A = this chain, B = another copy of it.
């Protein structure tokens, strides 16, 4: 059976868990205390030299890191990842957008505020990150005001990737009320068969 090493509360770890649930793929969740440093221990680094969760272990023992690589691997051949061509490229565009322009600002601010309870300590960094996080949310709003899902007419792994930290953005003091199309999209994601939220 597939094993998923992850930390509860991490949006990146939630992504492959929700996708496998939607696709009916059985897996075993193995809790890793990432905040407590478990991903930096030799036993974990032997599995993933980059020292991060989530980490997927296939039934044959091979490992795969990077949540969005997992989404592409697991969704191959399903309606959640279009076949090769421009529509697939647009899904990938959003997956890279998520890791470069969204997660480092939306997820990180949430981490400082919601997990570390250090809103004051990180005040300058939070202010800097928030401007970029708001820019990312605005890019999403633009796309979602033109189509129901990020990559177009159909729900895809791009929506899973961006839902991860957007649906808990308020835990990082992000106010989603200026983004009506985005809020409607969050609700559409929740209606997908087999979908579940982190909360």
Distance A103 CA – B66 CA, assembled complex (angstroms) = 15
* CB-contact partner of A64 in B66, B84, B93, under 8 A: B93
Instruction: For the complex, count residues of A whose C-beta is within 8 A of B.
Output: 34
Chain B nearest CB, measured from A158 CB (Å): 11
Highest count of chain B CB atoms <10 Å: which of A73, A77, A89, A97: A89
The listed residue (B88, B93, B103, B142) touching A65 by CB distance below 8 A is B93
Query: Is the Cβ of B99 less than 8 Å from the Cβ of A86?
Result: no
- Does A49 sit at the interface, judged by CB under 8 A? yes
How many identical chains are in the complex?
2
Which residues of A in the span 81-126 have a Cβ within 8 Å of any Cβ on B? 84-86, 88-90, 92-93, 95-97, 99-101, 103-104
Contact B93 A143 (CB under 8 A): no
- Set of chain B residues within 8 Å of A86, measured between Cβ atoms: 58, 62, 64, 73
- A69 sits at the interface (CB 8 A): yes
Q: A69-B89, A86-B73 are in contact. Are A139 and B49 (CB under 8 A)?
A: yes
Q: Does A96 lie within 8 Å of B84, measured CB to CB?
A: no
From B66, B76, B89, A97 is in contact (CB under 8 Å) with: B66
Say whether A49 contacts B100, CB under 8 Å: no
> How near does chain B come to A101, taking the closest CB pair, in angstroms?
6
27 CB contacts below 8 A, A to B, read: A50-B97, A62-B86, A64-B90, A64-B93, A65-B97, A66-B92, A66-B93, A66-B96, A66-B100, A68-B92, A68-B96, A69-B89, A69-B95, A70-B89, A72-B88, A72-B89, A72-B92, A73-B86, A73-B88, A73-B92, A95-B96, A96-B99, A99-B100, A100-B100, A100-B103, A100-B104, A104-B104
